[in-house]
Chains A and B, each alone.
Chain A
Amino acid sequence: MNMVSIASLLPPALRGPLTLVAAAVVTVVCFAGLAAPWLTPYRPNAMDLNGVLQAPSWTHLAGTDELGRDLLTRILHGARPSVAAAFGIVGIGTAFGLLIGTLSGLLSGWFDTVVMRLTDVVMALPGLVVALALTAALGPSLFNAVVALGVLAVPAYIRVARGQTLALREREYVLAARSMGASTLHLMRAHVLPNVWPSVLVFMTFHLGAAILASSALSFIGLGAQPPDAEWGSMIGAGREYVLGHWWYATIPGVVIILTASSFNLLGDAMRDWLDPRLTRDAT
């Protein structure tokens, strides 16, 4: 995962406002996903064969597609699967990575060795190519794409969580708790997890941006969301057939993806500055 700082690349004056803009974009996108049915007069799959491939106008702000469906409506409805997919991928990575990583760091011994060798193997693979094969084998659907991308993300979370755990393990208060006979489970819950969270949270936010790009890429090539469901990547996939002569169809969903992904990236940076100030110094 790419952890080079982004906000620190910006002049200090821009950091605050830009973070605010990013937070606003993410809020709007999440709101659009939840409230889509009440935001537009159209339905996402309502066809209008008299009005196919119309350019943006006052009646159809983002134009219509080859079946006359309103594209703005589909973009709003598409926010739900697109963002949910990213959260699902990050959720799978976090749930398993946090558990296995902290356990591995606390237990050490053979368990740790096995876990580390396995993560080495998975992380040595070209992740997206393997995700592609895995999704194809499970059967093309957004759910399976999320499972494939999520499972392949687990090793990265394991490394983050384990690294933090190893540092915590030797701290006095953890040693003290252990000397008083605290079980591994108690150590994990009371002392390790609360302190591993900040690093994982920073990693999660960066990963959300990458996850949206990955899941929309799988949808674009037809392995993710299936028609007629509206999803940003698959909308671009459908729009590419009409890209010559109907620019709005593929262009607008892409702009929405960029806005969302870059907002997550900017938020990840703000989150790091806030939760983990030690890391900011690394990136000049």
Chain B
Amino acid sequence: MTRIILRRLLMLVFVTAGVTVICFVISRLIPGDPAQLMLGARATPQAIIQLRAQLGLDQPIGAQYLTYVRDIFRGDFGTSITTRQPVLPELLGYIPATLELMLVAMILSIALGVPLGVLTAVRRNTWVDNFVRGLAILGISTPTFWLGLMLMLLFYAQLGWLPGSGRLDLGVSPPLHVTGLYVVDAALAGDSLAWRSAFNHLLLPAGTLALASIGTVVRLIRSSMIEVLGEDYIRTARAYGISKGRLLFVYALKNALIPFVTVLGLELASLLFGSVVIESVFAWPGVGNHVLGAILNLDFPVIMGFTVLASVVYVAANLLVDLSYLVLDPRIRSVG
């Protein structure tokens, strides 16, 4: 078991090195001189030479890469060209909003996807099953950004049930900062007005992200439930007269959820990209929106900082997923 963990950790080092190489190469692909870009068109040649030396751009490429990696490990992701602030603290400031969005999206897609997956597995090949699976097919073929616009059109513009942008209503002040997740902070502060406002604002963007991934969840749970329901121990449990609900949701689902953990890890990738697109649709003040602004302003330190951060988070999350298998499934432990 230690060997598996060690091998995985080694892989993490490999991948992190890979990420930095890729990001470094990308940042060198940018047309034009970063020094020129930062100083503007009317800079004197002298100032440019000076800034180039200051940025280390006159060094050999290998040395530049090593400096780049060293700075990243120190948490120095460079300076934003537009705001002239250090990139990392600025990005971190936007993370709670995005984290709140992604967490609620994940909770929604599990809360809806798992029961639907169980339902379709139990009622296999009936109209319920076919209907839900038809929706799942449409789900994976629908662009997330378009879905967001349509939900906004329906629930905000037509019905007026939910707010269409931002995190809070005008005039509602954000709750005292504890975690940065407004729903949690408002609950901690006992501020029901802010809580309701924050929750209502979350529903559309988080719902869009959840709907985008729900198809995958339903199909995965369905196929692994069907597999588990065919096992001998389920038949034995049924013969013992254990109630159907307990059989499905305790005995079968527990094992059917194991492959699901992997999907959660992979799902994070689509949530990371989805947050860029969906935050822009719903004017959600998170990392994604910030990065989109950086893209439009060609603010490369911010774009690259986000890419490195997102990649490292993604790789680390998938490492956790792999390790959680060791806890969830004793059979893997003995094999390794």
Q: How far is the CA of A247 from the CA of B154 in the complex (A)?
A: 10
Partner of B149, one of A4, A9, A217, A250: A250
Query: Is B97 in the interface zone, CB < 8 Å from A?
Result: no
| Interface stretch (choices A51-59, A126-134, A168-176) | A126-134
**Using an 8 Å CB-CB cutoff, how does the interface string of A243-284 with B read, 1 for contact, 0 for none?**
111010011011001100110011000000000000000011
Whether the Cβ atoms of A120 and B311 lie closer than 8 Å is: no
Number of CB contacts from chain A to chain B under 8 A: 162
Cα A269 to Cα B155 in complex, Å, equals 35
Q: Is the CB of B298 within 8 A of A136?
A: yes
Complex Cα distance, B144 from A6, in Å, reads: 19
Question: Given that A9-B136, A125-B19, A284-B227 are known contacts, is A217 also in contact with B268, CB under 8 Å in the complex?
Answer: no
Q: Find chain B residues with CB under 8 A from A11 CB.
A: 125, 130
B284-324: CB near A (< 8 Å → 1, else 0) gives 00000000100110101001101100110011001000000
A133/B277 contact (C-beta < 8 A), A11-B130, A124-B315, A244-B157 known: no
CB-CB under 8 A from A129, the residues of chain B are 269, 272-273, 276, 306-307, 310-311, 314
Q: Which residues of B contact A233 (CB under 8 A)?
A: 143
Judged by a CB distance under 8 angstroms, whether B128 is at the interface is no
Chain B interface size, under 10 / 10 to 19 / 20 to 34 / 35 or more: 35 or more
Residues of A within 8 A of B152 (CB): 243
Q: Are B141 and A258 in contact (CB under 8 A)?
A: yes
Measured between beta carbons, the chain A residues less than 8 angstroms from B157 are: 243-245
User: Which residues of B have CB within 8 Å of A251?
Assistant: 149-150, 153
What 6 A-B pairs are tightest by C-beta distance, nearest first? A121-B18, A254-B146, A262-B141, A128-B273, A261-B141, A126-B269
Interface of B toward A, CB cutoff 8 Å = 11, 14-15, 18-19, 22-23, 26-27, 29-31, 125, 130, 133-134, 136-138, 140-146, 149-150, 152-153, 157, 216, 219-220, 223, 226-227, 268-270, 272-273, 276-277, 280-281, 292, 295-296, 298, 300, 303-304, 306-307, 310-311, 314-315, 318
Starting from the known contacts A132-B273, A133-B23, 9 additional A-B residue pairs (CB-CB under 8 Å) come to A124-B318, A125-B15, A125-B18, A129-B272, A129-B311, A137-B29, A237-B145, A240-B149, A261-B142
27 examples of A-B residue contacts, CB within 8 angstroms: A6-B137, A10-B130, A11-B125, A11-B130, A117-B14, A124-B18, A125-B314, A125-B315, A126-B311, A126-B314, A129-B272, A129-B314, A133-B23, A133-B304, A133-B307, A134-B26, A136-B295, A136-B298, A136-B303, A209-B141, A216-B143, A217-B143, A220-B277, A236-B143, A236-B149, A254-B142, A265-B137
